[in-house]
Structure 1
Amino acid sequence: MTVAQPDVTVVIGAYEAMPYLVECLASVEAQTLGPGRIEVVAVDDGSTDGTGECLEEFAARVAMPVTVVRQDNSGGPSGPRNVGLGKASGRYVFFLDADDRLGPEALERMVAMADRNGTDVVLGRVEGVNRKPPRSMWGRTLERTDVFSSNIKFTLSAQKLFRREFLERHGMRFDESLWTGEDALFTMEAYLRADGVSVLADYTCYYLVGRSDGKHVTKSGSYTLRFDSARALMNLIAEFVPPGERRDSLMHRPFVVTLLPQFGPKFLKDSEAVRRHKFELAKPLIEEYWTEGVAQRLRVDERLRMHLVAEEKPELLVPVVEFVKAKKQAAALLEKKGREVYLVYPYFRDASAGIPDRVYLAPVREARAFPGYREHAPASVLRRAVRRARRVLRARAVVAA
């Protein structure tokens, strides 16, 4: 008898996941997609709290096929995910963290969207439970988009629906040498290789659960691991996207999300040795990938901090970070009849600091918050161009006469 291929393989990597695992598994069992269309591959990564036993009890009880793998601790989520992916047989694969849970219709809706559009990746809306998930990409449902036309670059966690044939065709696996940011590397590669990405924004597919014991991988690890993660992601982007505006639009993410926090409030608590080391680790990344195009995508305080890191001026960075930490509102200086807004952060037009005015120039989205700002309208730009052309024509007419 031929067994039908499941629509989705749910891969669950679990380590010391009790009691959160109970609700996680219940959310899989409650899926409206139906047990005949789902398989589960669960990998217990050396737990000692009953996680493995809970998985085996689930496998023995439920109608859907469940494979449980028990292995020695690998030290991170990449190993269990790769094991699960290697055993998957579904048309699609979904990586579910053992702390989290699915909305009841999540898999049914995501599979339908992927089938309808032929897309290789589907993002389902995420809500936080005692955690704050990314939000900027959930404004509206997008049947088909890509990483350049949307905000999906700001959600690089692995909790997405991936077409398994697509992953196998490109030999995609999680990088087990990275101790943090491995999911960002995997997901960004998928975005860049995908024949279309779908965004399901009108139904909560995934609940990101905050553990009361604070044991989240993204919160642990040495600062050096963050630089490893940033370096890997920047190198991946550079491998796929040539220099220019499109690359800059993607580099925005690792600079803001991964690198910049190392030069935020935590920098004030660092020893002098750690501060120097952070500057050393940042230097090759900035030399290679920090461009004016990236800088212009940052808010003024972000751009100012990265500028000072790029210029290797830790002594100037500290007062700026103190200003940011205090959550002070920088004064606004409007010039050119309100068409330019400068935010007066520390060292603005301080000759001894030598920081260019452009570092303090507010981008449009930031400038709009200040009364008196006059946004450059395309029509006004066109009118100026027409006036210039008329002046040139009149001058030529005078010469000809």
Structure 2
Amino acid sequence: MSVKVSVVIPVYNPGQYIEDCIASLLRQSLPDDTYEAIFVNDGSTDGTPERLDRLAAEHAHMHVIHQEPSGWSGKPRNVGIAAARGEFVMFVDNDDWLGDEALERMYEYGVENNADVIVGKMAGKGRPVPLELFRVNRPHANVGNAPLIDSLTPHKMFRKEFLDRNDIRFKEGRRRLEDHVFVAETYLLASNVAVLSDYLCYYHVKREDASNAGFQRFDPVGYFKNLREALDVVERNTEPGALRDKLYRRWLRNEMVERLRGRRLLALPEDYRRELYDEIRGVVVERMGPGVAAGLQPTQQVVAALVTADRFADLEELARWEAGIKPTGRLETLAWETGALRIGFTAEYEVAGSPLTFLTEDGEARLDLPFGEDTAAAVREAGASTRAPVDQAKVDLVVRERSTAAEFYQPVEFTRERVPADGADGAFRLVLRAESAVDPGTAANRAPLGPGIWDIHFRISACGWTKEARLGAVRADTVDAARQGTLSGTPRRLVLPYWTEPYGNLSLDVDHATSRFDRDVAGIAPAHVTYDDGSLSVPLRLHAADPEDVALRLTDATSGAKAESPATLVPKGDGALLSSELPVETLTGRAWHVELGLPSAKRGGPRWTVLPVGLRFADDGAARVVAATALPKRKKPA
């Protein structure tokens, strides 16, 4: 059988971090004889060469090439391309890993759409990934109709014949942005690029020791020399005009403007800060025409204008002001409705602990910047707009799985409200009022949320600020009483909203990833429970739209013997009622602990929760409800 995919992994001293990468490659759903992994050991001095030799000896589709150290990833990737036998080549870093079906899904998607490049959805663990690109599947993408240029890492699948035909290879030697040059060229020459967003393909990981090559401080002179090479690729493959300006804008925004803003700039030593600024200014003046900066958001335009006008001190002042800006949100409502958790919230920006305000001048909203008139005039002269497009502001709700960093946008409906603010005439706050419906069965790009802890984040995008925060620590008084879990999906599993500790943020426990449900039943007391002639009823803090089959288990407090009983959750008021007809004839004369069994998809059966109440049966079958602590202790064997 021919090889469909060759996975190329450049390797240099990864230590233990390579194990997750290896494990994910061995777990791939493609048959072993249809893909290969090529580890190119670039002169590692730890135990990795021996580890890879053992791996290759044990698995016929795992290969290793040893070479002298080249100093960077370019040469080992090129060596891997030359050795690859696959129809497609996939690049993976030695400290990242793949989703179990990544190669199969990306290959089939690429073949189906006749793509030269396939971009699979990424999750970033401590590393940024381009979220907007992965909102939806994009089977026919290009740099004009999709934000492809936001994703320039090489962790993608490329048709090998396409790379060979166009002689596309990585630049070699110790250098920066060789991946930008490579990927930009593939985007511009590909007949089609397909973006797969409904499966999490690639986990991009920041190592705990922060020793990934991309996290090391760089030499500004060399870095921006290499950046010019990426701009050269765009210049060779586009005509002057809107598209070229749009592509250049990616580097101006990400590699230059954003490095000179807020905490990111202020965290740098002063001498390095100035050196970085000087090199950035050189590229801006030399290569970035007025059409490039004009497409930036207003706050980004202001930064670019300060660079153009060579006003470094004002740039630092702006950074100090922007460092105090953060998003703030208030959870207003929380309720299950037609299988989805409806989350109502308000959100806005604040600065230095107070609401961020905007100005109204000549009927237009303006940024209220911390500048005097002299600086403001210089900004205007450089062509920057200080208009605040508040009517384009938006808010998103994102669910993010805690262990993998997989994240998915949720549908949001929102309104923008200008709230008058104290201070200058026409000053106002921008408040976003939003509601989102999180359906556990479709929240992962139309697929169910997997078992785990899913943290809830909101993200505000306005005027060039895009910042996110957790939701729930600030909430309306009515929300606590409304918080309850529900059974969801097929097979059924518990989805439980809860407040994190110590901050009180909102998270979802999917399929008993925590013991939070045990806490929710801890307040049940004998007075809440009804027992009448074999019929047991227990109120629970659960939402049930329709009756649900669950299980009840009774454990003899003395002997440990068990008896199970079918049970049902039925809607009752604001919660649910657990009802069961007990097998009284087997329970008489003994004391019993009571356990609730809720269905669990990952366990394939019930997950048992001990309730804080028990039953004492007399010899005649009569029973009374008591606290579990009042039951006799189990006898120890002699």
Q: TM-score range by the shorter chain?
A: 0.7 to 0.9
Which range is displaced more, 326-335 or 125-134?
Answer: 326-335
Quote how far apart the aligned CAs of 1:84 are: 0.7
1:234 and 2:260 correspond: no
1:205 and 2:201 correspond: yes
- Identity, % of aligned positions: 32
The 5 A counterparts of 1:326-341 are 326-327=324-325, 328=351, 331-337=357-363, 340-341=364-365
Contact kept, 8 Å, 2:358 with 2:388, in 1: the verdict is no
Q: Paired residue for 1:361, among 367, 387, 404? A: 387
Whole-angstrom CA distance in 2 between matches of 1:140 and 1:178:
36
Shift in CA distance, 230/259, structure 1 to aligned 2, threshold 3 Å: farther
What secondary structure is seen at the aligned counterpart in 1 of 2:41?
strand
Whole-angstrom CA distance in 2 between matches of 1:24 and 1:155:
21
What secondary structure is seen at the aligned counterpart in 1 of 2:252?
helix
Whole-angstrom CA distance in 1 between matches of 2:15 and 2:219:
25
Residue type of the alignment partner of 2:300: E
Corresponding residue for 1:96? 92
1:18 and 2:10 correspond: no
- Bigger relative contact order (CA 8 A; separation at least 6): 1
Which range is displaced more, 46-55 or 262-271?
Answer: 262-271
Whole-angstrom CA distance in 1 between matches of 2:291 and 2:74:
33
Whole-angstrom CA distance in 1 between matches of 2:36 and 2:268:
47
Whole-angstrom CA distance in 2 between matches of 1:173 and 1:223:
24
Quote how far apart the aligned CAs of 1:362 are: 2.9
Whole-angstrom CA distance in 1 between matches of 2:375 and 2:162:
55
Quote how far apart the aligned CAs of 1:115 are: 0.8
Quote how far apart the aligned CAs of 1:303 are: 1.5
Shift in CA distance, 125/346, structure 1 to aligned 2, threshold 3 Å: same
Contact kept, 8 Å, 1:42 with 1:67, in 2: the verdict is yes
Which range is displaced more, 101-110 or 258-267?
Answer: 258-267
The alignment's TM-score, normalised by the length of structure 1, stands at 0.84
What secondary structure is seen at the aligned counterpart in 1 of 2:127?
coil
Shift in CA distance, 271/63, structure 1 to aligned 2, threshold 3 Å: closer
Whole-angstrom CA distance in 2 between matches of 1:193 and 1:24:
30
Contact kept, 8 Å, 2:302 with 2:384, in 1: the verdict is no
Which range is displaced more, 47-56 or 282-291?
Answer: 282-291
Quote how far apart the aligned CAs of 1:236 are: 1.8
Q: Paired residue for 2:148, among 149, 152, 164? A: 152
Corresponding residue for 1:263? 260
Whole-angstrom CA distance in 1 between matches of 2:74 and 2:4:
23
Whole-angstrom CA distance in 2 between matches of 1:364 and 1:195:
38
Quote how far apart the aligned CAs of 1:184 are: 1.4
The 5 A counterparts of 1:2-401 are 4-64=1-61, 66-177=62-173, 179-220=175-216, 221-264=218-261, 265-268=263-266, 274-327=272-325, 328=351, 331-337=357-363, 340-347=364-371, 349-350=373-374, 353-356=377-380, 358-363=384-389, 371-372=417-418
Shift in CA distance, 144/266, structure 1 to aligned 2, threshold 3 Å: closer
Whole-angstrom CA distance in 2 between matches of 1:335 and 1:104:
55
Quote how far apart the aligned CAs of 1:298 are: 2.0
Shift in CA distance, 178/283, structure 1 to aligned 2, threshold 3 Å: farther
Contact kept, 8 Å, 1:330 with 1:343, in 2: the verdict is no
Contact kept, 8 Å, 2:87 with 2:160, in 1: the verdict is yes
Contact kept, 8 Å, 2:252 with 2:284, in 1: the verdict is no
Shift in CA distance, 244/253, structure 1 to aligned 2, threshold 3 Å: same
Identify the structure with the greater strand proportion: 2
Which range is displaced more, 77-86 or 157-166?
Answer: 77-86
Whole-angstrom CA distance in 1 between matches of 2:153 and 2:283:
22
Deviations 1:123-150 (A, max 9, x none): 1111123433221111001111111111
Residue type of the alignment partner of 1:324: E
Quote how far apart the aligned CAs of 1:198 are: 0.3
What secondary structure is seen at the aligned counterpart in 2 of 1:203?
strand
Deviations 1:70-117 (A, max 9, x none): 122211111111111111121100001110111111111111111111
Contact kept, 8 Å, 1:125 with 1:202, in 2: the verdict is yes
Quote how far apart the aligned CAs of 1:331 are: 2.8
Residue type of the alignment partner of 1:171: D
Deviations 1:41-79 (A, max 9, x none): 111111122111111111111142x33111222111111
Shift in CA distance, 256/226, structure 1 to aligned 2, threshold 3 Å: farther
The alignment's TM-score, normalised by the length of structure 2, stands at 0.54
Residue type of the alignment partner of 1:333: L
Quote how far apart the aligned CAs of 1:287 are: 2.5
Over alpha carbons, which structure has the higher Rg? 2
What secondary structure is seen at the aligned counterpart in 2 of 1:354?
helix
Quote how far apart the aligned CAs of 1:325 are: 1.8
Whole-angstrom CA distance in 2 between matches of 1:150 and 1:139:
11
Which range is displaced more, 327-336 or 103-112?
Answer: 327-336
Residue type of the alignment partner of 1:361: R
Unaligned runs of 5+ in 2: 326-350, 396-415, 419-427, 429-638
Aligned residues: 367
Contact kept, 8 Å, 1:330 with 1:345, in 2: the verdict is no
Quote how far apart the aligned CAs of 1:365 are: 6.8
Whole-angstrom CA distance in 2 between matches of 1:145 and 1:244:
20
Quote how far apart the aligned CAs of 1:38 are: 0.6
Residue type of the alignment partner of 1:294: V
Contact kept, 8 Å, 1:297 with 1:363, in 2: the verdict is no
Residue type of the alignment partner of 1:166: F
Shift in CA distance, 46/363, structure 1 to aligned 2, threshold 3 Å: farther
Shift in CA distance, 365/149, structure 1 to aligned 2, threshold 3 Å: farther
CA RMSD of aligned residues (A): 2.4
Quote how far apart the aligned CAs of 1:297 are: 2.7
